Structure 1
Amino acid sequence: MKNAIDIYQALKVFNKITEFGEKQASDAGYNSTYHLCGLHAETGYDGYTITLSDGRTSLNIYFHNKYQFDYPDNEAFENFMRRFSDVMKHTVQ
C-alpha cells in the first residue's frame, strides 16, 4: 500500500521527538532511541536514514527524502498517524 505523507512534517516530528522525548541507549551501541507520545525515533548507523515507529508501524525516511511505510493493517497505520499528530500537538510544559 502506498501512503502519502508530508516528508517535512515527518522530519519535524522526528526533531520534536529527539528534542523533547525520553532518550534510551541503543542495544547496537551506535545511536540512541527517543520516545515521545508513543512514537520512537532513531537514526541509522550511517546518519542518512531515520525511523519513526510505534511498535507496529514504522516509517523509514531515506536520503533524498524517499520514504517507506511498513505496517500489518490499516488500523495499525491509522494508530501510527494519530500518534504522529499527537507529537505535532505536543508542547513543552
Structure 2
Amino acid sequence: MKNEIDIHRALNVFNSITSLGEKQTNHYSASYQLCGIEAETDFDGYTITLRDAQVTLTIYFHNKYQFDYPNNDALDNFLRRFADVENVAKKRKA
C-alpha cells in the first residue's frame, strides 16, 4: 500500500477534531480527541499530529507528511476513522 493521503482531507479532519473534540491537557501541551483520533500541534503550529493507538500521521510545513504504523490493517483502520470524524462534523453542522 502506498502511503498517500489527501492532505487537505487530513487537515479538515484535524480542524474538526480540534473544534468538536474533547480537550485533553497535560503539563506541556493540549490535544483533542474525537472518534478515537487524537490531534495536537507543536508550539508554533507548523507541525500537526493525528494519532490513534497504532498509527501516527505527522504533517509538516508545506504539506509534507510522515506515517508511522505497524501494518497495513492498522493504517486502513486509522483512515476509516477519518470518515467517522467527518460524519460527526456533518451532523453537528446540520
Q: TM-score, normalised by structure 2?
A: 0.89
3-state SS, counterpart of residue 53 of structure 2: coil
What's the counterpart of residue 80 of structure 1?
78
For structure 2, the residue ranges without an aligned partner over 5 or more in a row are none
Q: TM-score, normalised by structure 1?
A: 0.90
Q: Structure 1, residues 13-61: CA drift from partner, whole Å, max 9, x if none? A: 000000000001134x2x2110000100000133210000012001000
Structure 2 Cα separation of the partners of residues 33 and 26 of structure 1: 9
- Aligned partner letter, 1:6: D
Structure 2 Cα separation of the partners of residues 77 and 5 of structure 1: 11
Q: CA deviation at 1:2?
A: 3.8
What's the counterpart of residue 61 of structure 1?
59
Q: CA RMSD in A?
A: 1.5
Structure 2 Cα separation of the partners of residues 26 and 56 of structure 1: 21
The yes-or-no answer on 1:8 pairing with 2:8 is yes
For structure 1, the residue ranges without an aligned partner over 5 or more in a row are none
What's the counterpart of residue 89 of structure 1?
87
- Aligned partner letter, 2:20: F
More helix by share: 2
3-state SS, counterpart of residue 23 of structure 1: strand
Q: CA deviation at 1:85?
A: 1.4
What's the counterpart of residue 20 of structure 1?
20
**Count of equivalent residues:** 91
